[in-house]
Chain A
Amino acid sequence: MSVVDIENLSIEFPTRRGILKAIEGLSFSIEAGEILGVVGESGAGKSLTGNAIVGLLEPPGRVSGGKITLKGRDITHLSENEMRRVRGAEIGVIFQDPLTSLNPLYTVGKQLTQTILTHRNISYSKAKDRAIELLTEVGIPAPELRFDAFPHEFSGGMRQRVVIALALCCDPSLIIADEPTTALDVSVQAQIIALLKDLSRDKGVATMLVTHDMGVIAEAADRVAVIYSGRLVEIGDVRSVIDAPKHPYTRGLMDSIPQIGQNLKYLPNIEGAMPRLDGRPDGCAFNPRCKMVKPVCREEIAALRATENAGQMAACWIYDGGHKYV
């Protein structure tokens, strides 16, 4: 059984000029011990999906359809108080910027023990032991001493480790890491990714790794989901998606990664920009930028279909009837 199951999730924003659909018909699941990379450009809806799972959508955004199941329990429409008990306990969240994620006025020990004591009915000294154990686990040297340190006394990478320790406080079964390495420099990125990988392998945590960095995906993820303009356009094993992308958008993404040693005048890119939420074309949202556009693309949206690679699915008319990518 998968740890988390997203079925047909839709998120919308009611505005004065009508309802904007930010996410439509999104489905995926993550197994225990698996890291699912979620990629897409800014505004595609990656972070929104993560926020919807933990029930932290900023109003007026709301889940308008679909179902989120965590370990067999439907958490789509839990009350705020029930959802609060799920957050931090069963789902751990890691945000982008470790410099601003920690409260500057509390010691990391206080933030850790406060989180533990909120969810677990144990004594303070037990919570403190647990906090120090967590700091050790995420690789912070001299955890007993660092327990009483304030966030500003840590470096950026160390702070992100503290953030991860906070997300792990109560042994969650799912971790949502929203761009966990974006604010870090490359060598620290690699350490944090290695840490996330170890944690998901050793503890069997399902991880949803939201990023726009294909390098991070290639390094960390087992499977990858590509989101374009609020819809899942491709999902599959990380190697097959990277080596043999099926959807024209994914293919464009992969082609846009410059290779070392290439001597280019211009960086390759996908012509055009992602449409705004209120300006999506009919049919496939990618059709204005797609080089392989067919008449049907401008009328109807293709469903996610199997491709010739096992487990790799793409939402493109090219696969209508299981045809090959041409």
Chain B
Amino acid sequence: MLNFILKRLVQSAIVMLVVALLSFFLFNFVGDPISNMVGQESTTKDMEELRDQLGLNDPFIVQFGRFVVNAVQGDFGISYRLQRPVEDVVAERMPATLELVFVSAIIAILLGVAGGLFTGLKKKHWFSKVILTGSLVGVSLPTFVIGILLIYVFAVKFQILPSFGRGEVVTLDSGWTTGLLTLSGWKAIILPSITLALYQTTLILRIIRSEMLEVMRADFIKFARARGLRQRDINFGHALKNTLIPVITVAGLQIGSLIAFSIITETVFQWPGMGSLFIQAVQFADVPVMSAYLVMVAFFFVMINLIVDLLYFVVDPRLRVEVRG
């Protein structure tokens, strides 16, 4: 078991390194940050000096090596645009994104599992058909359309929820800012989190449904019924547990992509998170911020995948044996 975790950690480190290399490599071609940073009156000499100062004249390998060594120590350099350390900027923005993703993931998992179970168990019920038709909307409509629609209905028409921002934010001792402790913060997070969660909800819902349909036909379910077990125990114990492996896989990947998708949602709702930070960084060719963002996202993905792999062992005893042996 420990062996397995170690092996996965080493793999994760390699993945991170490759992502870092790619992002660093790519972002060296998105534009010249110097021309954005200097004023109109600056001379070529000034620009060259700045370039030297930032180490942009060093060979690529040297630049990358410096980036990695610093990044491991939590130092992602100075943002070209904001002239502040990138890690400070990210630390400011990260709570907003992570809270949004957290709330969305909870919504997606709760609604997805509940809806999937219902539609899987009562496939002929009229409400199942309503859910399934509705879920088609969730899969096919682009996120920003849903966001704008929600803004129109709840912020413009009924004016009960704010259309942008995080609301009132409380700063905790650890420096983490949270909107989840104030009423306006909760109000502000409703629309963006629903927008972000909708696609994932429908995806989880549809997977659970099809897995349920599959499992309910299995012999061991028939045998469980033949033993007179309560339908509740069969549905939520025997059947649901057997659908969990694919659901964990997909839910894990989806939580990763929630972080990535949040770029769009954050833009629509002007949510002050990492997504909007990234968009601004792209427009400004702010390489340190972009690199830091990509490395962070990759880090979350890798960590989630590691957790997913470990969850497999919790759920499925058959895997435990293979690792032991």
Q: Hey, which bits of chain A sit against chain B, CB under 8 A?
A: 54, 56, 84-89, 92-93, 95, 97, 100-107, 114-115, 118-119, 150, 152-153, 163, 166-167, 169
Chain B, range 214-237, C-beta contacts under 8 Å to A: 218-220, 222-231, 233
Q: List 6 A-B contacts (CB under 8 A).
A: A84-B225, A84-B230, A100-B219, A105-B241, A114-B233, A167-B227
Write the B308-325 contact mask toward A (1 if CB under 8 angstroms, else 0): 000000011110010000
Q: Are B242 and A104 in contact (CB under 8 A)?
A: yes
Q: B187 near A: Cβ within 8 Å? A: no
Q: Are A105 and B315 in contact (CB under 8 A)?
A: yes
Q: Are A163 and B223 in contact (CB under 8 A)?
A: yes
B-chain residues with CB within 8 Å of residue A97 when the two chains form the complex = 219
Q: Are A87 and B227 in contact (CB under 8 A)?
A: yes
- Count A/B pairs, Cβ under 8 Å: 76
Q: Which residue of A lies closest to B219 (CB)?
A: A100
Smallest CB separation, A160 vs chain B (Å): 12
Q: Are B226 and A56 in contact (CB under 8 A)?
A: yes
Q: B8 near A: Cβ within 8 Å? A: no
Q: Are A118 and B228 in contact (CB under 8 A)?
A: yes
Partner of B226, one of A54, A85, A114, A153: A54
Q: Are A56 and B317 in contact (CB under 8 A)?
A: no
Q: Are B318 and A152 in contact (CB under 8 A)?
A: yes
Q: Which residue of B lies closest to A93 (CB)?
A: B226
Smallest CB separation, B231 vs chain A (Å): 8
Query: In the complex, A274 Cα to B228 Cα: how many Å?
Result: 34
Q: Hey, which bits of chain B sit against chain A, CB under 8 A?
A: 218-220, 222-231, 233, 238, 241-242, 315-318, 321
Q: Are A95 and B223 in contact (CB under 8 A)?
A: yes
12 more contacts with CB within 8 A, not counting A56-B226, A87-B228, A166-B223, are A84-B230, A85-B228, A87-B226, A89-B228, A93-B223, A103-B220, A104-B220, A105-B242, A114-B229, A115-B227, A115-B229, A152-B318
B-chain residues with CB within 8 Å of residue A153 when the two chains form the complex = 321
Query: In the complex, A167 Cα to B224 Cα: how many Å?
Result: 10
Partner of A95, one of B222, B230, B241: B222
Q: Are A106 and B238 in contact (CB under 8 A)?
A: yes
Q: Which residue of B lies closest to A88 (CB)?
A: B228
B-chain residues with CB within 8 Å of residue A56 when the two chains form the complex = 222, 225-226
Partner of B317, one of A93, A101, A105: A105
A-chain residues with CB within 8 Å of residue B220 when the two chains form the complex = 100-104
A-chain residues with CB within 8 Å of residue B321 when the two chains form the complex = 152-153
Q: Are A100 and B218 in contact (CB under 8 A)?
A: yes
Q: Among A84, A86, A89, A169, which residue has the most Cβ atoms of chain B within 10 A?
A: A84
